Structure 1
Amino acid sequence: MKKTGIRIVLVILILSGISFSSLKKSFDTKQNEVFIDSMMNNALKKGFFPGAQIIVGSKDSVFIVKNYGYHDYSKKDLVKTDDVYDLASMSKVLGATLVAMRLVGEDKISLEDKLGDVVLTYKNTPIADLTLFELLTHTTGLKSGITFYKSLLSTPDGSPLLSNQQSADYPDLFDNMYVNKNIVYDTKYLSFEPKDNYVRIYKNMWLNPEFYKSVYDQIAVANTNKRGQYLYSDLNLILVQQMMEAKTGLKLDQMARGIYNELGISKIGYNPLQWTSEQNVIPTEIDYLFRKDTIRGYVHDEAAAILGGVSGNAGLFANAQSIAVICQMLLNNGKYNGNQIIKAKVVATFTKSPLVKKGIYRGLGFDKRKPDEFFKKDDFGHTGFTGTFFFINPENNRFLIILTNRVNPTRSNRLMYKDDFSAKIWKQVNK
């Protein structure tokens, strides 16, 4: 009789689509909220960041939605749900990779496509035969990044832009260095008023597009001779963007916006002042080197700024609620509200680790980690330099989003990383 009863329960569970793992790992909202509140209050007290948004959810539910702290340390403006954060490198997956997934699913681009065949600028260069697959898995061997913007800066007497010692000539902190007080701009390429065909890169800065030739020339020779090995690089996703734009004739922000519109999310996009108010954009760093201002409403990342705020490596702004919809779509194998946004097989391909046998745990675009006390083998997501984090656990049907501006007032603040802050919360919500 007992065995018969068990069989009946099994049949009911199977027909209902309820898995044992979901029953075993039901979410204790109260317990997790207490834990997160404690972590957040401690972080705010210690100055990890001035404020944050957090969402925890599953493919069909949102368990916790909370805002903490303020826009900055003046404590004038509380963080609100509609406020948007600079996502930094989370843009690599929530922008460029998402578009790549759509295009691969529509057979408009192939993972085996070669850079030089698609983007003629690179046709006869050392990086011509890099594939889209290599770019997305960060196995091209390209150096991690290039500070293109620094060639636009100089000093009248040729002294260094930065010093590791503070002095009267180097008064202001930039990361762990101090900035020369006499920096001048290259007026051949930079203008502080609008000019025909110039690209706006900050609220009072416009760039001569002739500068881009030097950018592409530097990328073309940025090879470190480590092709096939994992080396995370902003350049990879800049090239992914160029491949997709060349293939489609559309700009990255146009293609991304099409996906966001299908998902019904509006608090996400590039160049946020085109679609929200400055008061709803969380400020990032006080930049004493390049823009000489508190950056708000314009992308923090200098490479993305040079590219006009729309870049494969950075540039997206969003609130946690918009990202939550993307997480739910990915947990539902590319489907949201009955619409197949991304093909299921493409979601599976991009979120797995195809190079594990080589000791590379990266997905296609997506960050994945070697399993440890915090991360499981099927987890995928991404982090951002500004203090942003999202991860998804498909086995446990769980996602976590943490948005902060830890770079306010300066990027030298790395307290949240030293404490494994985001990873600890991720571990907790997956218990």
Structure 2
Amino acid sequence: MPTEILMPALSPTMEEGTLAKWLVKEGDEVNSGDILAEIETDKATMEFEAVDEGTIGKILIDEGTEGVKVNTPIAVLLEEGESADDIDSASSSPAPAATTDESAAPEKEAEKAAAATPSAPAGPATPAPAAPQDADGKRIFATPLARRIAADKGLDLTQVKGSGPHGRIVKADVEAAQPGKAEAAAPEAKAAPAEKKAADAAVMPAGPSADAVKKMYEGRDYEEVKLDGMRRTVASRLTEAKQTIPHFYLRREIKLDALLKFRSQLNKQLEGRGVKLSVNDFIIKASALALQSVPDANAVWAGDRMLKLTPSDVAVAVAVDGGLFTPVLKDAEMKSLSALSAEMKDLATRARDRKLAPHEYVGGSFAISNLGMYGIDNFDAVINPPHGAILAVGAGVKKPVVGDDGELTVATVMSVTLSVDHRVIDGALGAELLKAIAENLENPMVMLA
């Protein structure tokens, strides 16, 4: 029976994407692992691999189509012995492209939802069951063929481990699984996340609509800027962060003179290797070591519990056109300054080219946002969920300070602000973490011990 190929979720935050380019055409034979298309997600352009083998019977979504919802059929795959005549006409109707017409949005969204929802069979093709969800309402990724086999065998896909790309459940997984091992999740449990989301939506404050804002500026010249996937995701996540995370802020100044002198000496010695350490490299290392010194602060919020991490996985904000990435330097406490510097340069370059893979910008417990190079003295950063904290770093500026001997002197001082999730880190614990970061930066040789 023909199998629908669905728009995949290629990143954790992806809800829709642009089908940038088809790399196959109707009639082509494909095997598991073959590249079918290039898809623009909210973060990058990524390749989409086939998880089943067969022949491309029909392409439902043209390349260049924007706003294709995750789980929308984009093509039909024929198994051996099948032909295009076996394709159900109902399942081969392409989903409508995204629209910028606000008044038509509800109808268009309804049409897209209808196109993504399998209908009753009207011919030889049997649409796959809808994508299942776990008890928390999160989608379980499985191929359409695997979902059909699971339905026939009475398998609960929440109990099946996927071996396909990114953990997707494929045909071989369900064929090897035994039915009756576990009961399906209770309908009430599955409905609970949806009910909670609906309740949250009801109480979450919403800004004025696009039409209402436009009316305020009638008669004024303006340009309407269409939001791309990244900008929509940034807007959504930061709104969520400010509405749901109880931020509090800890501020202090850090003397940089010893660090700047030490950095200059190291860079001279490393010049022959082509290594040039930045102040930001030291901040990453100082933060990673501080998380080891204050392990209770190396934690993230996980809905109804905290997860305490063992390694120091530090995310660093990188500005790109139209948004930002937060690539994660994993096990940062174990790496040398030169290794951190090289890795950070590589991640930043590929972030600006939008070539990062999802696993390179997902995770971490702590983030750094440095605007010092733009001349910003100090600012407050918004926590990137589920992180427990983010360090906002300002510029190092010369200021009069009172020295240890009581004499007035001039020092290079950097202002930092630690934004903290109060659900994860209390005030005293946050202060302890910030103190550890400051001590590492003011005594840089300690970081090499």
Does the pair score TM above 0.5? no
Report which of the two structures shows the higher radius of gyration computed on alpha carbons.
2
Larger strand share, 1 or 2? 2
Q: TM-score range by the shorter chain?
A: under 0.3
- The TM-score with structure 2 as length reference comes to 0.21
- The TM-score with structure 1 as length reference comes to 0.21
- Which one has more relative contact order, counting CA pairs under 8 Å at least 6 apart? 1
